[in-house]
Structures are given as structure tokens and as C-alpha cells.
Amino acid sequence: MILEMPSVRVSRKEVLVRRPERQGSEVERVREARARRDAAAATAALNEVELAARSGENLMPRIIAAVEAYATLGEIADAMRRVFGEYSEAI
């Protein structure tokens, strides 16, 4: 799959490069962030993301609040997956 932008061609493989040597440090950074955050505030913000998704309200203010409460991208995505499910390409 090729993604095209004006004067830029990038293959999907190039965009999704995983660097195994950095995985350990990234995992540790997420653990540290979770340990330092206000867990109740993060949980409340994630619940608000899910409630907004269920009601059809604008998600962006809730997502921003969740980020400000140090919720991870994975946690935010999980909240939305519980409502919307996960896309699976039909082959």
C-alpha cells in the first residue's frame, strides 16, 4: 500500500517501523507516567470518553481531557473500542 501526498511518497512499511531496541524504554516510560498520574482522574476522563462515544457527543473535548489526565493512547482507544468495536477489513 502506498500513501501519497503532494510531492511525498511513503510506503506503509516505512511509516510503521518498530524499533525493538526502544521497546523496553518506551514501556518503562508508560509505566512511570501511569504511576505518577492521578489514577482517579484518568479513570474518570476515560469513562467520559466512553460515555460521549455512546451518546454520540463530540469526542474531542473528552479525548483532550483524557490526555491531560495522562491517559495513554491505548487506554483512550480501548474506551472507544468498547463502543465502536474494531474495524476488520473484509477480504
pLDDT by residue (tens digit) across 43-91?
999 999 999 999 999 999 999 999 999 999 999 999 999 999 998 888 8
How many Cβ atoms are within 10 Å of 85's Cβ, its own excluded?
8
**Nearest to 76, CA basis, from 50, 57, 37, 52:** 50
Q: Letter for the amino acid at 68?
A: E
pTM equals 0.72
In the chain, domain spans? 38-91
Residue pair 71/46 in contact by the 8 Å Cβ criterion: yes
Q: What is the pLDDT of residue 2?
A: 54
